[in-house]
Chains A and B, each alone.
Chain A
Amino acid sequence: MASKPQIGIVGFTGCAGCQLSILDLENELLDLLGLVDIIDFRMAMSGNKKGPYDILFVEGSIVNKHQEEELKELREKAKVLVAIGSCASFGGPQAIRNYRDNKKTKIAQYGKDNIDKVEVIKVKPINKVVKVDHYLLECPVNKYEFLDFVKYYLVGGTPTLPNYPVCQQCKAKGNRCIFLEDGIMCMGPVIQAGCDALCPSYGMPCDGCRGSTLEAAYDQQVQLMIEKGASVEDITRYILKYNGEDKQVHEFLMEKWKEQDKKLVYQED
Chain B
Amino acid sequence: MTSKSYHIKHICRVEGHGNLLVEMEGNEVNHAEMQIIEGARFFEGIAVGRKYDEAINIMSRICAICSTSHQLSAVGALERSVGIEPSKQVNDFRVLLDHGENLQSHILHVGMLALPDFLGFDGVIQMVPKYPNEVKMVLSMKRTANDLQTLIGGREIHPVNIKPGGFGAYPTTNQLKEMKEKLVVFKQNTQAFADLLATLKMPEFENKTEQVAVYDGKSYPFTKGDHKCLLSGKIVKPEDYKKNFIKEEVRGYSSAKFSTINDGEIYYVSPLARVNINYKFLTDDAKKVLAQFDMKLPNFNPFNNNVARVIELMHCVDEAIEITDKYIEKPPKDDNKEFKIKAGTGSLATEAPRGLLNHSYDVDKNGIIKRADVITPTAHNLNKIEDDAKKFGSLIADKTDEEAELLLNMLVRSYDPCISCSAHAIRIDLRRK
What residues of chain A have their CB less than 8 Å away from a CB belonging to chain B? 11-18, 20-21, 23-24, 26-27, 29-30, 33, 38, 41-48, 61-64, 67, 92-94, 96-97, 100, 104-111, 114, 117-118, 120, 139-140, 198-199, 201-204, 207, 234, 237, 241
Q: Could you say which of B79-87, B122-130, B236-244, B344-352 contacts chain A?
A: B122-130
Q: Are A203 and B123 in contact (CB under 8 A)?
A: no
A250 shortest CB reach to chain B, Å: 17
**Binary interface encoding of chain B residues 136-158 relative to chain A, with 1 for a CB under 8 A from any of its CBs, else 0:** 10011011001000000011111
Q: Are A21 and B156 in contact (CB under 8 A)?
A: yes
Could you tell me the distance between the alpha carbons of A198 and B153 in the complex, rounded to whole angstroms?
Answer: 11
- For residue A15, which residues in chain B have a CB less than 8 angstroms away from its CB? 61-64, 67, 420
Q: Are B124 and A237 in contact (CB under 8 A)?
A: no
B71 shortest CB reach to chain A, Å: 12
**Binary interface encoding of chain B residues 397-411 relative to chain A, with 1 for a CB under 8 A from any of its CBs, else 0:** 000000000000100
Closest 9 CB pairs of A and B: A45-B123, A17-B64, A13-B39, A63-B39, A105-B45, A108-B45, A47-B122, A202-B168, A26-B143
Q: Could you say which of B8-16, B194-202, B269-277, B385-393 contacts chain A?
A: B8-16
Could you tell me the distance between the alpha carbons of A237 and B16 in the complex, rounded to whole angstroms?
Answer: 28
Q: Could you say which of B48-56, B215-223, B309-317 contacts chain A?
A: B48-56
Q: Are A26 and B140 in contact (CB under 8 A)?
A: yes
- For residue A43, which residues in chain B have a CB less than 8 angstroms away from its CB? 12-15
Partner of A198, one of B13, B63, B154, B257: B154
B15 shortest CB reach to chain A, Å: 5
Output the residue of A11, A30, A44, A114 with the most chain B CB within 10 A: A44
Can you identify 5 A-B contacts, CB atoms within 8 angstroms? Answer: A41-B125, A44-B12, A94-B41, A140-B158, A202-B161
Q: Are B420 and A14 in contact (CB under 8 A)?
A: yes
Q: Are B123 and A20 in contact (CB under 8 A)?
A: no
Q: Which residue of the partner chain A has the closest CB to B44?
A: A109
Known: A13-B41, A94-B41, A203-B169. 16 other contacts (CB 8 A): A15-B62, A16-B65, A20-B15, A23-B108, A23-B142, A26-B143, A38-B125, A42-B10, A43-B14, A106-B45, A107-B45, A109-B42, A110-B250, A117-B251, A120-B40, A203-B168
- For residue A202, which residues in chain B have a CB less than 8 angstroms away from its CB? 154, 160-161, 168-169
Q: Are B146 and A26 in contact (CB under 8 A)?
A: yes
Whether A204 contacts B168 in the complex (CB less than 8 A), given A26-B146, A139-B61, comes out as yes
Q: Main SS of the interface on chain B?
A: loop
Could you tell me the distance between the alpha carbons of A33 and B125 in the complex, rounded to whole angstroms?
Answer: 8
Whether A204 contacts B160 in the complex (CB less than 8 A), given A45-B126, A93-B58, comes out as yes
Q: Which residue of the partner chain B has the closest CB to A115?
A: B250
Could you tell me the distance between the alpha carbons of A105 and B43 in the complex, rounded to whole angstroms?
Answer: 9
Q: Are A45 and B48 in contact (CB under 8 A)?
A: no
Which positions 105-121 of chain B face chain A at CB distance < 8 Å?
108, 112-113, 116
- For residue A24, which residues in chain B have a CB less than 8 angstroms away from its CB? 142, 146, 156-157
Q: Which residue of the partner chain B has the closest CB to A117?
A: B252
Tell me, yes or no, whether B324 is within 8 Å of chain A by CB.
no
- For residue B58, which residues in chain A have a CB less than 8 angstroms away from its CB? 93, 241
Whether A139 contacts B158 in the complex (CB less than 8 A), given A15-B62, A207-B57, comes out as yes
Q: Are A118 and B10 in contact (CB under 8 A)?
A: no
- For residue B39, which residues in chain A have a CB less than 8 angstroms away from its CB? 12-13, 61-64, 67
What residues of chain B have their CB less than 8 Å away from a CB belonging to chain A? 10, 12-17, 38-46, 48-51, 54, 57-58, 61-65, 67, 108, 112-113, 116, 122-126, 128, 135-136, 139-140, 142-143, 146, 154-158, 160-161, 163, 168-169, 250-252, 255, 257, 371-372, 409, 420, 424
Q: Are B122 and A96 in contact (CB under 8 A)?
A: no
Could you tell me the distance between the alpha carbons of A62 and B126 in the complex, rounded to whole angstroms?
Answer: 31
- For residue B38, which residues in chain A have a CB less than 8 angstroms away from its CB? 13
A39 shortest CB reach to chain B, Å: 10
Could you tell me the distance between the alpha carbons of A20 and B353 in the complex, rounded to whole angstroms?
Answer: 15
Could you tell me the distance between the alpha carbons of A108 and B409 in the complex, rounded to whole angstroms?
Answer: 33
Output the residue of A61, A108, A120 with the most chain B CB within 10 A: A108
Could you tell me the distance between the alpha carbons of A42 and B425 in the complex, rounded to whole angstroms?
Answer: 12
A249 shortest CB reach to chain B, Å: 16
Q: Are B126 and A27 in contact (CB under 8 A)?
A: no
Q: Are A21 and B157 in contact (CB under 8 A)?
A: yes
Q: Are B42 and A108 in contact (CB under 8 A)?
A: yes
Could you tell me the distance between the alpha carbons of A127 and B140 in the complex, rounded to whole angstroms?
Answer: 37
B28 shortest CB reach to chain A, Å: 28
Q: Are B12 and A140 in contact (CB under 8 A)?
A: no
- For residue A140, which residues in chain B have a CB less than 8 angstroms away from its CB? 64, 157-158
Could you tell me the distance between the alpha carbons of A234 and B51 in the complex, rounded to whole angstroms?
Answer: 8
- For residue B116, which residues in chain A have a CB less than 8 angstroms away from its CB? 45-46
- For residue A29, which residues in chain B have a CB less than 8 angstroms away from its CB? 139
B353 shortest CB reach to chain A, Å: 13
Q: Which residue of the partner chain A has the closest CB to B50?
A: A237
Could you tell me the distance between the alpha carbons of A18 and B10 in the complex, rounded to whole angstroms?
Answer: 19
Partner of B136, one of A30, A45, A241: A30
Q: Which residue of the partner chain B has the closest CB to A139?
A: B158
B240 shortest CB reach to chain A, Å: 20
Could you tell me the distance between the alpha carbons of A114 and B51 in the complex, rounded to whole angstroms?
Answer: 27
Whether A48 contacts B50 in the complex (CB less than 8 A), given A106-B42, A199-B154, A202-B161, comes out as no
B41 shortest CB reach to chain A, Å: 4
B285 shortest CB reach to chain A, Å: 24
Could you tell me the distance between the alpha carbons of A234 and B169 in the complex, rounded to whole angstroms?
Answer: 25
- For residue B13, which residues in chain A have a CB less than 8 angstroms away from its CB? 42-46
Partner of A117, one of B122, B123, B124, B250: B250
Q: Are A45 and B12 in contact (CB under 8 A)?
A: yes
Could you tell me the distance between the alpha carbons of A108 and B374 in the complex, rounded to whole angstroms?
Answer: 12
Q: Which residue of the partner chain B has the closest CB to A240?
A: B50
Whether A108 contacts B44 in the complex (CB less than 8 A), given A24-B146, A46-B12, comes out as yes
Q: Which residue of the partner chain A has the closest CB to B64?
A: A17
Q: Are B46 and A96 in contact (CB under 8 A)?
A: yes
- For residue A44, which residues in chain B have a CB less than 8 angstroms away from its CB? 12-13, 112-113, 123-125
- For residue B65, which residues in chain A have a CB less than 8 angstroms away from its CB? 16, 20
B421 shortest CB reach to chain A, Å: 8
Output the residue of B126, B160, B163, B420 with the most chain A CB within 10 A: B160
